[in-house]
Amino acid sequence: MTELEQYIHSYFGVSKEEVSRISDCFHLETLEKGDYFLRTEKICNKLSFHKSGLIRVYALEDGKEITQWISSKGYFLTDLSGLIFNKPTRYNIQALSDCEIYTITKQDYQNIANVIPRWHELEKLFIARCFIFLEERIFALLSMTAEERYQLLFNQQPELFNQVPLQYLASMLGITPETLSRIRKKIGKT
């Protein structure tokens, strides 16, 4: 089984036969460092499973880049407002390093439900989990200091800190690079 199949199997609890029917709809793509998966104002027309490398989701606001998320191996990648509602995105999604992703086109994506009757239900469960994840992120932003949010991110995704420019992680935490640098100095970086 590919990583994609393993993921679908273990996360969705789908039978092996269904798994392979789903994964057949995906094809392996590569992104080179700097390539864009999606650019702002475009309508996202694909969904990908992140196999390797790092990808940054960011938006430009008042001349500043706001990093919303850094995707790494094991995440799904898309812009839901485009994929589901045909709306242009505010985000740029760009490879921070060479990447491999398994991609399904919007057409194939919309067709999966015909192949896998439970697809909408699985999707619902998946998006619900994403919703809860964002809810927790909001809670952290409302209730924690910059330092606490740093510790949380560091515990959850330590691998990011030696691969992603710290300025992007700072932005994702809602602070400036200088503040992140001082927090790390104070704490001792590990």
Which option in DNA, a second copy, none does residue 158 bind, with CB closer than 5 to 8 A by kind? none
Q: Rounded to whole angstroms, how far apart are CA atoms 50 and 78?
A: 10
Q: Does 135 bind a second copy (CB under 8 A)?
A: yes
Nearer to DNA, 7 or 168 (CB): 168
Q: Does 157 bind DNA (CB under 7 A)?
A: no
Q: Which stretch binds a second copy (CB under 8 A): 26-34, 157-165, 168-176, 178-186?
A: 168-176
Q: How far is the CB of 77 from DNA (least distance, A)?
A: 21
Q: Does 159 bind DNA (CB under 7 A)?
A: no
Q: Minimal CA–CA distance to 147: which of 179, 115, 123?
A: 179
Q: Minimal CA–CA distance to 148: which of 166, 130, 167, 173?
A: 173
Q: Rounded to whole angstroms, how far apart are CA atoms 167 and 54?
A: 15
Q: What number of chain residues touch a second copy (CB under 8 A)?
A: 34
143, 155, 156, 190: which one binds a second copy (CB under 8 A) = 143
Q: Does 130 bind a second copy (CB under 8 A)?
A: yes
Q: Rounded to whole angstroms, how far apart are CA atoms 28 and 104?
A: 9
Q: Does 167 bind DNA (CB under 7 A)?
A: yes
- Asked whether 84 and 46 are in contact (CB, 8 A), the reply is no
Q: How far is the CB of 118 from DNA (least distance, A)?
A: 43
Instruction: Determine how β-strand 36-38 pairs with β-strand 46-52.
Output: unpaired
Q: Does 172 bind a second copy (CB under 8 A)?
A: yes
Could you give the angle at which helices 177-187 and 166-173 cross, rounded to 10 degrees?
100
